[in-house]
Amino acid sequence: MVSIDQYQEPGRFVNPQIVHTKTFDGKELVVVSGIVLVHLKGTSQADWLRDTLRLGIDIARICPPNQGLLTEQSAPLVTLNAVYNQNVSNNAGYAVDSCQLLNQPQAWRTIWVDSAVAVRDTDGWLYRVGYNITLIGTFKDLQQIP
């Protein structure tokens, strides 16, 4: 698994954007988007290197103090943004096969999205992915850790 947390590695998140408003029924509507520097290298010309890319996207700036977003609905999308093949391209391939928001039963100030990614070719690189994630939820107190 490749895990990239915006809070820990903000320089890998290029042009992060966030939109926040209320829905007609008073829920929080949040849309986050941006590009993440990944640098995942393929290992074979015959087989796909398949891995999970976990993105931790910081939404703390829209949350009230000591509260996080309890997500009720989500629509995550992670896409290819930049790929590279260093030499001759023999059977090269790149993919984002799926993505999903991780189940978060309590309020958080970071949202986590897992994506199934793949690279094929020994000198093939997945350099960047883009993300666009729509969330609907409510602000709740953060769970206290004893």
How many domains, the chain? 1
Distances from the Cα of 12 to the Cα of 6, 21, 128, angstroms: 7, 26, 9
Asked if the structure places residue 143 within a domain, the reply is: no
Instruction: Show Cβ contacts of residue 81 under 8 Å, excluding neighbours closer than 6 positions.
Output: 35, 127, 128, 129, 130
pTM of the predicted structure, to 2 decimals = 0.93
Q: Which domain, by its residues, includes 127?
A: 2-138
Asked if the structure places residue 107 within a domain, the reply is: yes
The residue count for the chain: 146
Instruction: Please give the chain's pLDDT, 146 residues, in tens.
Output: 999 999 999 999 999 999 999 999 999 999 999 999 999 999 887 899 999 999 999 999 999 999 999 999 999 999 999 999 988 887 889 999 999 999 778 899 999 999 999 999 988 999 999 999 999 999 999 976 54
Quote the tokens at residue 63: 């949350």
Asked if the structure places residue 103 within a domain, the reply is: yes
Nearest to 126 by CA among 42, 57, 48, 44: 42
Asked if the structure places residue 144 within a domain, the reply is: no
